Chain A
Amino acid sequence: MSAILPLRLEEVSYAVDGRRIIERVSLVLEAGPSTIILGANGAGKSVLMRLMHGLLAPSAGRITWSSQGARRRQAMVFQRPVMLRRSALDNVVYALKVAGVPAAQRERLAQEALDEVGLRPVARRPARVLSGGEQQRLALARAWALHPEVLFLDEPTANLDPGATREIETIIKAFDAAGTKVVMSTHSLGQARRLGDEVIFLHQGRVAERSPMDQFFPLPASPEAAAFVKRELPWD
């Protein structure tokens, strides 16, 4: 099984009703470093991740994975994950089922994934009654069970308190340690620094800058990113 990475974006644009939301983005995402997508509200972070994950089709340009079968070897965790009306365990089992995992293995793999995110005690509880933080961890468990080569995370800790945020960050680090390529958007500069190896800074649908984390902080090269960092830091 050859790797689906690197992921190539060539001159990718995305427009709705003639309004350009993503504008001629060219990028190569390699296996390895965790990539943080930073940018102000409305910069196009969510749209860019949906394009990469294949949920949106570009209006122009090309997005290509390096081998076949990329769909099944990537996962995405949304800001507000959708839970099926069944138990936490069965939510993970469902993800395994639709990924083609044989029935005999599903329950064991699902339990392991719940263990990984610390949700074993609530495995039988209906997913929809779990707290926001627990639901987000369950979304991560669904991804974990699939052992994706790439994991997209769209502001996975927005709306969570610091405790829940830390738990989520620990799990994201575990993905990285297990060899999954992490691509995550966030508002939090602190989180970017804690989890990322490199930054892609989006400004009005364009890539304003791409730098290794230790160069981006404390001094971004692009004026847009510098202004953003200056604005955000005092509250971080």
Chain B
Amino acid sequence: MLEALGSGLRLVATLDLRLWEIVGLSLGVSLSAVAFATLLGLPLGAVLAVGRFPGRQAAIVVLNALMGLPPVVVGLFIYLLLSRAGPLGEFGLLFTPQAMVIAQTVLVLPIIAALARQAVEDAWRDYEEQLRSFGVEGWRGALTVLWDIRFSLLTAVMAGLGRASAEVGAVMIVGGNIDGVTRVMTTAIALETSKGDLPLALGLGMVLIAIVLALNAAAQVIKEAALRRYG
């Protein structure tokens, strides 16, 4: 065990190319997915928070429930869509990094949208009267609040990133864990562990943890700075 840990550290320290390719792809896929999910999820959450339309309550319940979607189920769903016989089969996306981005976007979108919905709704209680007094309502009010609390929304985005970088099931199914093409940290860890190559698995695990920590630390620093700057 200790030996494996030592070899793992050595792999990380010697910048093993194989390892860093995997890390790079992981980051690329998860960050892209979170970027798309943020672009879609924040406005969606804001509209659900501020809008008053029939079916809103039901939409919120569904959204909250979707936060707990098992990654393998999302993977299976996207697999069916992208498989050759599926409705989007003609694009030939299955087993590509793009397919993994799509699957993770679907996985992360409900988390970001649901957390944003809650944050905007809480803020809206404070802002509503003032904004309505200015004649600002509906989507315009939603955007104003969204922008005003943008630094608190980092928490929602980081939750999404945590989910994306940690999941195995969805990327495994739609990516196929093909060496050099769609192998990412989590699928590699799963594979190497099953093969008994514990050093590589552990090395990857440590890198994964370090990256998630670093990103969260960065988010925290940004939030603190914003709080000092904007009150």
Contacts and interface: CB of A to CB of B under 8 A. Distances in A.
Contacts of A78: 129-130, 133
Contacts of A82: 126-127, 129-131
A76 B133 contact: yes
A81 interface: yes
Interface in A82-141: 82-86, 94-95, 98-99, 126-129
Nearest to A76: B133
Contacts of B131: 82
B122 to A, nearest CB: 14
Interface stretch (B77-85, B134-142, B160-168, B193-201): B134-142
Interface of B is mostly: helix
Contacts of B56: none
A50 to B, nearest CB: 8
A127 B231 CA distance: 8
A129 B130 contact: no
A85 B223 CA distance: 13
A2 to B, nearest CB: 19
Interface in B86-139: 126-127, 129-136
A129 B130 CA distance: 18
A1 interface: no
Contacts of B130: 78, 81-82
A98 B135 contact: yes
Contacts of A98: 134-136, 140
A85 B135 CA distance: 19
B231 A85 contact: yes
Interface residues of B, number: 17
Contact of A53 (B133, B230, B231): B133
Given A85-B231, A128-B231, A99 B135 contact: yes
Contact of B133 (A75, A83, A94, A128): A75
A10 to B, nearest CB: 23
A62 interface: no
A128 B132 CA distance: 20
Contacts of A95: 134
A72 B140 CA distance: 16
B144 interface: yes
Nearest to A96: B134
A71 B230 contact: no
A55 B134 contact: no
A126 B144 contact: no
> Most chain-A CB neighbours within 10 Å: which of B129, B130, B132, B133?
B133
Given A99-B134, A99-B135, A85 B230 contact: yes
Contacts of A75: 133
B93 to A, nearest CB: 41
Contacts of B229: 126
A86 B229 CA distance: 9
B231 A129 contact: yes
Nearest to A95: B134
Nearest to A71: B135
A109 to B, nearest CB: 15
A76 B130 CA distance: 8
Given A84-B148, A128-B231, A72 B135 contact: yes
B125 to A, nearest CB: 10
Given A72-B135, A84-B148, A98-B136, A55 B129 contact: yes
Contacts of A84: 144, 148
Given A50-B129, A78-B133, A86-B230, 8 more contacts: A55-B132, A71-B135, A78-B129, A84-B144, A85-B230, A94-B144, A126-B230, A126-B231
Interface of B: 126-127, 129-136, 140, 144, 148-149, 229-231
28 contacts: A53-B133, A55-B129, A71-B135, A72-B135, A75-B133, A76-B133, A78-B129, A78-B133, A82-B126, A82-B127, A82-B129, A82-B131, A84-B144, A85-B148, A85-B230, A86-B148, A86-B230, A94-B134, A94-B144, A98-B134, A98-B136, A99-B134, A99-B135, A126-B229, A126-B230, A126-B231, A127-B231, A129-B231
3 smallest beta-carbon distances between A and B, as pairs = A128-B231, A82-B130, A85-B230
